[in-house]
């Protein structure tokens, strides 16, 4: 699923959160939206998701104009920083959730659900946690389960908002490698928001550097790091 963003604007009152943003994301790419706090990253992600509507501009998925489409029609999977798993459900039930709430007509059989959930738990190497409750897992393990849950419904794209933001440095580093490995295995078009330069440089295929509601630069990590387009990007990446 490719994503095309054309001239997207979004204001909150007098404040311009996104100022004529244009961006193309290719099918199967892992893209990082990188920038300081308040630069518009989350707003852009929410507009791609359909959780927020732009004031003007067009969003296309695979060239199709889906600008007004509701989040439920867009086929996206989410992982948020504080998107807690359901506490009263086991890991298995959490990962199965998106499948069990499908309308009857589209709902897989119990056996199919079990097979799928077990495969996903294997993918994130947490098969042994199936009968546990989220409170019995570490923060890093919980986010891996959140990834498995997001993938259960076979989303057309995966949107991640500071997915590792709440974790300590060592676990973050481990999860970066996880996300990269997972992406290499499933190749689902993914966009993740981060303010952490190192995270973006290490994990992403492409980096989009944002500042004050605008895109300052986009490119591969090498392009952005070796050839910062302007003083802002240079300074922002300076401490990596
Ligand atoms: P980032 O993800 O880069 O930190 P955001 O997209 O969350 O930035 O926010 C960009 C700016 O828009 C911030 O200054 C924020 O305060 C403002 N903003 C975001 N959402 C709202 C909202 N619902 N109402 C008012 N202001 C908002």
The predicted-structure confidence for 188-229, as pLDDT tens digits, reads as follows: 999 999 999 999 999 999 999 999 999 999 999 999 999 999
The predicted-structure confidence for 93-121, as pLDDT tens digits, reads as follows: 999 998 898 888 888 999 999 999 999 99
The predicted-structure confidence for 153-198, as pLDDT tens digits, reads as follows: 889 999 999 988 878 888 888 888 889 988 998 899 999 999 999 9
Ligand 1 close to Cβ of residue 53 (< 6 A): no
Ligand 1 close to Cβ of residue 42 (< 6 A): yes
Cα(40) to ligand 1 centroid in Å equals 6
Ligand 1 close to Cβ of residue 35 (< 6 A): yes
Ligand 1 close to Cβ of residue 43 (< 6 A): yes
Domain ranges of the chain: 76-154
Read off the pLDDT of each residue in 26-38 and give the average, rounded to a whole number: 96
Distance between CA atoms of residues 157 and 49, nearest Å:
9
- Reply yes or no on whether the pLDDT at 81 is more than 90: no
The three state secondary structure string of 199-214 is: HHHHHCCEEEEEECCE
Read off the pLDDT of each residue in 74-83 and give the average, rounded to a whole number: 81
Count of beta carbons in the 10 Å neighbourhood of residue 87: 9
| pTM, full prediction | 0.93
Q: Are 2 and 27 in contact (CB under 8 A)?
A: yes
């Amino acid at each position: 699923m490719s994503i095309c963003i054309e001239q997207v604007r979004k204001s909150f009152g007098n404040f311009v959160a996104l100022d004529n943003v244009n961006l193309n994301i290719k099918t199967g790419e892992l893209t990082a939206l990188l920038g300081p706090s308040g630069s518009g990253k989350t707003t852009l992600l929410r507009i791609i998701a359909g959780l927020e509507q732009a004031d003007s501009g067009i969003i296309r998925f695979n060239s199709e104009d889906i600008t007004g489409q509701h989040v439920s029609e867009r086929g996206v999977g989410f992982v948020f920083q504080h998107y807690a798993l359901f506490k009263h459900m086991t890991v298995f039930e959490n990962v199965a959730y998106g499948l069990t709430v499908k309308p009857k007509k589209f709902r897989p059989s119990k056996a199919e659900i079990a097979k799928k959930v077990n495969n996903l738990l294997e993918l994130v190497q947490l098969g042994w946690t199936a009968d546990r409750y989220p409170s019995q897992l570490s923060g890093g393990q919980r986010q891996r389960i959140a990834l498995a849950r997001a993938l259960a419904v076979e989303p057309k794209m995966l949107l991640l908002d500071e997915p590792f933001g709440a974790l300590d440095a060592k676990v973050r580093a481990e999860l970066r490698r996880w996300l990269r490995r997972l992406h290499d295995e499933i190749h689902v078009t993914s966009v993740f928001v981060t303010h952490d330069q190192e995270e973006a440089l290490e994990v992403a295929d492409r980096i989009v550097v944002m500042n004050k509601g605008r895109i300052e630069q986009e490119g591969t990590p090498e392009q952005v790091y070796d050839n910062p387009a302007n003083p802002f990007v240079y300074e922002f990446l300076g401490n990596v």
